[in-house]
Amino acid sequence: MGERYLIDTNIIIDFSENKLPAKVKSFIAFAIDNEPHLSVINKIELLGFSSVTKNITEFVNAANVIPLSDEIIEKTITIRKTHRIKLPDAIIAATAVLQKLILLTSNDSDFKNIKGLKVVNPKTIQ
């Protein structure tokens, strides 16, 4: 089994709106095709827009959406106590850490220095 990814909302939106260079889009397509994971926060963000495309809805329905658990809640609290990070981002980070997933996000600076969190900004792929 290869790398496993939790895909952040901003990456899914840019991918669905065809806003990524071909090499980046290819990398994201690989992550999507190989067991995509979302935090429950990503699901809420993606489906919470006033207008949601069929592709986004189908993607969310096909993805492994990781719900809040007591363990994720406790890890989120720890992250919030030690980092200046928004609650949704803390939940996403806690989910990725505990599920041993690499977080794909273009907001990598929002997640810096969180122990155990691996972050990849696909937009920086050369």
> Mean pLDDT across the stretch 92-118?
95
Q: Within a domain: residue 109?
A: yes
- In the chain, the number of structural domains is 1
Residue 67 lies in a domain: yes
> What is the tens place of the pLDDT at every residue in 36-68?
999 999 999 999 988 899 999 999 999 999 999
* Domain coverage including residue 9: 5-119
pLDDT value of position 58: 94
**Helix, coil or strand: residue 53:** coil
In a domain, 125, yes or no: no
| The predicted structure's pLDDT at residue 34 | 85
How far apart CA 80 and CA 77 sit, in angstroms, is 5
Q: How far apart are CA 64 and CA 37, in angstroms?
A: 5
Task: Flag whether 44 is in a domain.
Answer: yes
Contact partners, residue 99, CB within 8 Å, separation at least 6: 4, 6, 37, 66
Domain-located, residue 126: no
Decide: 122 and 26 in contact? Cβ < 8 Å: no
Domain assignment of residue 124, yes or no? no
CA distance 15 to 11: 6
